[in-house]
Structure 1
Amino acid sequence: MARPKTRGLLYFPLDIDFFEDNKIRILKARYKSDGVQIYLFLLCEIYRKGYYIKVDDDFEYIISDELGIDQNKVKQVLNFLLKRSLFDNTLFNSDKVLTSAGIQKRYQLGIKERMRKSKEPLEVGRYWLLNKNETEPFIKCTLFEDNSGNLDSFSWKNECNSSEKSLNKSKENNIKNNIFQLPELEQAFQLYLVVRKSNFGDILPEQIQALREDLLKLSDNPEEQLAIVKKATASGWKSFYPSRKQEKKTKKKIGFTNYSGGRKYEMDSLELDLLGIQEGKQDGSDKKR
Structure 2
Amino acid sequence: MARPIKKGIDYFPLDVDFLRDIKIRKVMRACGSAAPTILICLLGNIYRDEGYYMKWDEDTRFLVADDVGTSEASVDEVVKKSIQVGIFDSKLYDQHQILTSHGIQERYKKAAYQKSDSSIDKKYDLLNVNHIDNGVSNSGNPVNHAESTQSKVNESKEEESKVNNTRLSAPASRIQEEFAILWGMHPRKVGDQVAALDTYKNDVLLKNITFDQVKAKIEAYKKQIELNGTQTTYIKTAGKWFTERCWNNEYDTTPPARQEPTPDWAKPGYVAPVEEKTPEQEAVDQAKLDEMMRKIKEGRDVNAS
TM range (shorter): 0.3 to 0.5
Report the TM-score, using the length of structure 1 for normalisation.
0.43
Question: TM-score scaled to structure 2, two decimals?
Answer: 0.41
**Which has the greater radius of gyration?**
2
> Whose helix proportion is higher, 1 or 2?
1
Q: Which protein, 1 or 2, shows the higher relative CO under an 8 Å CA cutoff with sep ≥ 6? A: 2
